[in-house]
Structure 1
């Protein structure tokens, strides 16, 4: 069932983005009286799952979910229709239109992607507001288990105060700034310290089996008792918080392993906090130092215990416009920075590039409209930015040649465009194989 929910969100988001992107090309083409021969969701290699011709356009759904396309008459595109291009230009064809009209048609797709992302962020701000954790309310630092971060000199309990001189105000600032981290400032037992990250930190992080960063430390709060647990009959309830083991205080779950190491295979007295009341329990720790308890708690439940402060904001529709647009520009800037890092071999960031599985994995396994729209907005930005890359066969490649034509007054020959389109396809195939190959490598070798 979890797989069905994830794949449903993935396909719905992908389909929405593809249709709207192609609609961005379709609408200006129609406005400029340019014939659109095909409008397809997914690719129809050899055959279509569905197709219907309305007017001059065949609308359809292909079977290969790697994208979609519109086929515009008189344009050298993925169809590589050389026969059509060998004939005399017709007034309804793309190649017969003024360069400014062709430029608008080609930029239509990415324009829609960016507008869609901005609109989603505006309505999300209005509908959901936003919430974050005040970094200053986190008194005992973060849980750090990633071997790479530990090797760099960080440890659980460190309180991160700044990354690259950018003050950490809210918890979300950590992950936002981590990708470009060079200098990390933190406090350990009240003493200010710094650590310098290596240039290839992202490459090392991508190669690491651990995907943890700076995680919030949580109490040992009971979520569920395992069926195989030695303590399944000990009257433990969901929401109970273990606060001591054999008289030794236990504030955070990450402290339990060290405390329990001396009691493997033994019975131990613990204190449990339940609805504000302290209860004494006797529990059994198995040979592995475990209680057989699944832990977990919501942010609000942990806030009630005083571990940190959640900052929540609600916005009027007018305020949501500014908040949404700020989030859009922030995400745009962040994604351009990621691309810059990926195309800089010295950073090793290319090792973290993922394909369709990586995109699939970011969707939650429970249905959440808030998560769905947030991910869809980000993917819309990603699709728009990637399509602007100056690679022939992408919108950015066509725009590059159109700008050359507008500046120089000379139009590249159809033969040159055919060669460029072919070269662009080989580049795209190589990039797709590399990204999805990374997914397979990580799945096989962890």
Structure 2
């Protein structure tokens, strides 16, 4: 519950900030041109019965009512004389007034409509710049990753091998490992890797499915992480959201720092990547379990472990014997199979947690990590470049939204909230807020009626042709656009529910 609340608070804070500034962009240009803003609300004040739906509201100098509604799905800025999602058709029947949106020149109305998107985009660039200034930039060059990459079977069919170092493609050189690596690999015709000290080219088709590369388990390519225990927790929460502490299964069975995991339930694993894949298989089995006995059987896991301090060459010779012993061991807690390999049986938590950790990629390559610090003025070009790259990547991925798999990958409020870290981390919070600001800017500029982009299209038509679309047409278009948005919201949030239920 605590993790849920932390994520929820971060989500609400980020969305509130973004909505406040987005609507503030509309209001800034409205006030600048003398257009009346009737209401400026964070969250929607949907009335229930006799209650207005307002948590609070007030007026400063002028005609604008400021306030907060109870429904945290965004916010709005109600501008006089404008056809928007409020569908205030009665006002449009009155004689036009000089303070109304509809009586102002098209170029002024255009600036009012793009004001929110402009603020969101500039905000994202500013946040990224301040992140560069305060925290700098840390990364591990891919050619410095001594363990190389772990590839899926599909990637190996194309010619990749485990431990290959990805250097780049015919589209460009790789710097660090991020989603742009997948984007380049999906569109490239040749990849370049370092294999056993030599540069090797791997031919690619040029049309790999990016969603498949990211969503399939295991992923197309991941940094290779040895299955070497780095930390063992003595106690841990009984479940992810529980405050009840228990002795960790890893501590109970005597797992120690430096131990190397060789097999899970008799299945060999050559890396922590394969270990997590096997745990994912068990998780799927646990989700399908029908009885408590089935669940307990799945949660009882046997691992083969090469003890810390054993010669590195002992792994290969010991693995076959240890795997067989691990599969057959059903009675003893610890059964030595060779001088350096033990089989250990553990009863895991209900969410299949062991209570140990391996070195993360940053920790694994701590000495190889490059850190770049930026002065205040230097941070702006770096932040702008980073933000522009994020926007370009997001725009290029939009083509997948119009596919069946892309529609399934849409996420609603639950998916967005889950992106925030389970512990309050200001670096990750601001990075996620900047990313959401870019998403909000891009989604709002889409040419869909009821969005800012829809209004922009009609205004550009008016500027080019000199003819204003009729009010009846605008109202109908607003209804159509609003229906499209509601449908997309239902699909996205339904996907969240189906994922939560384990159906997707």
TM range (shorter): 0.7 to 0.9
Q: 1:20-419 counterparts in 2 under 5 A?
A: 20-46=21-47, 47-54=52-59, 55-144=62-151, 149=155, 154=160, 156-163=162-169, 165-172=171-178, 175=181, 177=183, 180-183=186-189, 185=191, 186-189=193-196, 190=198, 192-194=200-202, 196=204, 199=207, 201-205=209-213, 208=216, 213-218=221-226, 220-225=228-233, 227=247, 229=249, 232=252, 236=256, 240=258, 242=260, 245=306, 247=310, 249=312, 260-264=322-326, 265=329, 266-267=335-336, 284-287=342-345, 294-299=356-361, 301-303=363-365, 309-343=368-402, 345=403, 348-419=405-476
Q: Is the 8 A contact 2:321 2:337 kept in 1?
A: no
Q: How many Å separate the matches in 2 of 1:115 and 1:89? A: 34
Displacement of 1:40 in angstroms is 1.2
So what's the TM-score if we normalise by structure 2? 0.75
Structure 1 portions without partners, runs of 5+:
271-281
So what's the TM-score if we normalise by structure 1? 0.84
| CA 1:114–1:300: 2 relative to 1, 3 Å | closer
Displacement of 1:222 in angstroms is 2.7
Q: How many Å separate the matches in 2 of 1:334 and 1:370? A: 21
Displacement of 1:426 in angstroms is 1.2
| CA 1:14–1:82: 2 relative to 1, 3 Å | same
Of stretches 224-233 and 58-67 in structure 1, the one that deviates more from structure 2 is: 224-233
Alignment partner, residue 266 of structure 2 = none
Displacement of 1:206 in angstroms is 6.8
Q: Is the 8 A contact 1:121 1:377 kept in 2?
A: yes
* SS in structure 2 of the partner of residue 285 of structure 1: strand
Alignment partner, residue 288 of structure 2 = none
Deviations 1:312-359 (A, max 9, x none): 11011121111111112111211211223434x49x434322222221
Q: Is the 8 A contact 2:183 2:210 kept in 1?
A: no
Aligned pair count? 426
- How big is the alpha-carbon RMSD for the aligned residues of Structure 1 and Structure 2? 3.4
| CA 1:175–1:3: 2 relative to 1, 3 Å | farther
Displacement of 1:91 in angstroms is 0.9
Alignment partner, residue 421 of structure 1 = 478
Q: Is the 8 A contact 1:51 1:58 kept in 2?
A: no
Displacement of 1:441 in angstroms is 2.9
* SS in structure 1 of the partner of residue 45 of structure 2: strand
Of stretches 392-401 and 135-144 in structure 1, the one that deviates more from structure 2 is: 135-144
Deviations 1:107-162 (A, max 9, x none): 11001001101111111111000000111111232133x56556666553233232
Displacement of 1:269 in angstroms is 6.8
